[in-house]
Structure 1
Amino acid sequence: MFRRLLLWFGCWAMAGCSPQAARRAALERELLRLTDSVQAQVGIAAVLGEGDTLTINNKPGYPMASVFKFHQALALLDSLDRARLTPDFPLSVRSSDLLPDTWSPLRDARPEGGYSLSVAELLAYSIAHSDNNVCDLLFRFLGGPETVGRYIHGLGLSDTAVAADEETMHRDPATQYANTTSPLDAVRLLERFRRGELLRPSSTDLLMHTMLSTATGPDKLKGLLPAGTPVAHKTGSGLRDAQGTVAADNDIGIIFLPDGRTCSIAVLITDSAEADSTNAHTIALISKNIYNYLASEETIK
């Protein structure tokens, strides 16, 4: 409560300085209200402009769930770039790769195994459809989660850890807390990707297009934005324990505004006692408020 009072006092003081400061203070108050309105820990980070980053409840330790498939995709494409291979490079899919009792659109479509798909095709399953079996197949090609963890740490993102694959997390739900990040680390990674600092241009374009095609979580970051707003994003949904608490309900992505600006945003929810629909609606409300703030900023100018 004391932290809230200090923040509100600071916002009130800023509000007396300029209309822009008042708008920013109002946005932060509304985001705090939203995070306090649910039985969960909610972390937010967003890049509102060059050098202007907003954070609420930023700290390490938020379980990523399938958000880490974005991190894996970056490490995978970086490895191909370094080896001078293209995303057309084929990988074998065996029947033993297609485990039951996990989310896997590829297994549902082609359960027989014994075929090859290109890295680009596999990324479409892993990113756009969040296929758990494909994710683990890509981990095996890369050398395991530790390879992705080393890649991320090499980028200087000290709040992020990747240590468990999907099979491990489904076998032992406690390991959901092995793959973690902070909201700020997530948007820093999104920004470096967006600016083309991590991959070759063709690889950046491929992953951006794949994320724009994401089919999961239409009610999260995109849920309350104007129809047709492009959002390149990766969702994550954790498992619930015996008490009904879900480890993670997340969405991170890049929102494209009509005037050509972008907003990298991460909303991470952990230890939530709320229904999935409530978590998704909370993410959508946060995204809507940040979008409206940026849209009205252009109108004021």
Structure 2
Amino acid sequence: MTTRSQFKVLFLSAVVLLSIAGRSVFAQKQADDFRRKIEKIIPEAKGTVGVAIMGLEDRETFLFNESLRYPMQSVYKFPLAMAVLDQVDKGKLSLNQKIRVTPKDLLPNTWSPIREKYPKGNVDLKLSEILSYTVSQSDNNGCDILFRLLGGPKKVDAYVQSIGVKSIVIAATEEEMHKAWNVQFTNWCKPRAMLRLLDILYKGKALSKTSNDFLWRIMTETTSGPNKIKGLLPKNALVAHKTGLSDTKDGILAATNDVGIMTLPNGEHVAIVVFVSNTPVDEKTRDGVIAQISKAAWDYFLAKK
């Protein structure tokens, strides 16, 4: 090889290395700007906000206030549904089996589209229907029917632990949470743990394809919390998610949450967890915090490609 040829190779190599370094610096700046944007949004809640975000293809992850325990409220209906579908996969339950819903199952003074449609009870509903009511419409009575079917919250908690998700505790039913304010805090989760559960759903690692697809569908059909994760996204944005909302005591809301997987226009996916707790602000502001964080994540991961 001539000296001139060697110089040309070295020059081209240097150009490539500088280009790679430049892209790395730019990517780091993008990530830093994104992190600062989230940190600027969080104080608007005037409470405690835990956030976990991950690009499910490139695995880039962002965590905010990760170490705290957040009350899940109805978000825990997502792992409950996974536990039910695990029993379906094992042949112990069937999505087509009929479950008798009695008047005693339809408690008053709790959110329940099942009770609204069948106020007198004494109706047989398919397990698939009760799962859909519980996840898509966040039905509290449906939730407790499923807990009873499995043998209680401890069974669901044990299932979640068995698939490798730690830093999450499922201890009380909806009925028990409605009886005493502090009970809701026994159903807690750290943001990273819920992110892990969403990742398992996305990868289809815990359930059969049929069960995983069913859960993905009913989470995509979620009607609760339209102004949370989906609040600022394009109208046709595909989001498989589960919301949660507590009551207010002495002007303080214990929890308003949304967790899910956003499908970007380029076909890639972003898992997002936002837990907002101990906040005095109104619903519009609370939901706005979740919506802003979600839109920022949407824009960041989309701009990377």
TM over 0.5: yes
2:281 matches 1:274: yes
Provide closer, same or farther for how the CA distance between residues 287 and 145 of structure 1 changes in structure 2, counting only shifts above 3 A: same
Task: Provide the C-alpha distance between the structure 1 equivalents of 2:208 and 2:295, rounded to a whole number of angstroms.
Answer: 32
Q: Secondary structure at the match of 1:37?
A: helix
Task: Provide the C-alpha distance between the structure 2 equivalents of 1:209 and 1:244, rounded to a whole number of angstroms.
Answer: 36
TM-score, normalised relative to structure 1 = 0.91
| Deviation >4 Å, runs of 4+ | 14-17
| 2:198 maps to which of 186, 190, 195 | 190
Task: Provide the C-alpha distance between the structure 1 equivalents of 2:93 and 2:101, rounded to a whole number of angstroms.
Answer: 19
What is aligned with 2:117?
109
Task: Provide the C-alpha distance between the structure 1 equivalents of 2:181 and 2:262, rounded to a whole number of angstroms.
Answer: 31
Task: Provide the C-alpha distance between the structure 1 equivalents of 2:45 and 2:216, rounded to a whole number of angstroms.
Answer: 32
**Residue deviations 1:195-254 (CA, integer Å, cap 9, x gap):** 11011100011110001100000000000001100000000001111x211111000001
What is aligned with 1:6?
none
| 1:121 maps to which of 126, 129, 137 | 129
Instruction: State whether residues 15 and 21 of structure 1, in contact with CA within 8 Å, keep that contact through their aligned partners in structure 2.
Output: no
| 1:251 maps to which of 239, 258, 274 | 258
Displacement after TM superposition at 1:156 (Å): 2.4
What is aligned with 1:5?
none
What is aligned with 1:260?
267
Instruction: State whether residues 44 and 285 of structure 2, in contact with CA within 8 Å, keep that contact through their aligned partners in structure 1.
Output: no
Displacement after TM superposition at 1:137 (Å): 0.6
Letter in 1 for 2:205: E
Instruction: State whether residues 171 and 186 of structure 2, in contact with CA within 8 Å, keep that contact through their aligned partners in structure 1.
Output: yes
What is aligned with 1:142?
150
Among the aligned pairs, what percent are the same residue? 36
2:287 matches 1:283: no
What is aligned with 1:8?
none
What is aligned with 1:171?
179
What is aligned with 2:50?
43
Displacement after TM superposition at 1:128 (Å): 0.6
Letter in 1 for 2:152: G
Displacement after TM superposition at 1:17 (Å): 5.6
Q: Secondary structure at the match of 1:253?
A: strand
Task: Provide the C-alpha distance between the structure 2 equivalents of 1:144 and 1:38, rounded to a whole number of angstroms.
Answer: 34
**May I ask how many residue pairs the two structures share in their alignment?**
284
Displacement after TM superposition at 1:84 (Å): 5.6
Instruction: State whether residues 60 and 159 of structure 1, in contact with CA within 8 Å, keep that contact through their aligned partners in structure 2.
Output: no
Letter in 2 for 1:106: I
What is aligned with 1:221?
229
Displacement after TM superposition at 1:83 (Å): 2.1
Task: Provide the C-alpha distance between the structure 2 equivalents of 1:196 and 1:239, rounded to a whole number of angstroms.
Answer: 34
Task: Provide the C-alpha distance between the structure 1 equivalents of 2:93 and 2:45, rounded to a whole number of angstroms.
Answer: 46
**Residue deviations 1:230-283 (CA, integer Å, cap 9, x gap):** 000000001111x21111100000100111101111000111111122110100
Displacement after TM superposition at 1:60 (Å): 4.0
What is aligned with 2:217?
209
Instruction: State whether residues 50 and 68 of structure 2, in contact with CA within 8 Å, keep that contact through their aligned partners in structure 1.
Output: no
| 2:83 maps to which of 62, 75, 78 | 75
Instruction: State whether residues 60 and 160 of structure 1, in contact with CA within 8 Å, keep that contact through their aligned partners in structure 2.
Output: no
Which runs of no fewer than 5 residues in structure 2 stay unpaired? 1-20
Which runs of no fewer than 5 residues in structure 1 stay unpaired? 1-13
Letter in 1 for 2:257: N
TM-score, normalised relative to structure 2 = 0.90
Written as runs of structure 1 = structure 2, the 5 A alignment for 1:8-23 is: 18-23=25-30
What is aligned with 2:12?
none
18-27 vs 81-90, which moves further: 81-90
What is aligned with 1:240?
248
Q: Secondary structure at the match of 1:18?
A: helix
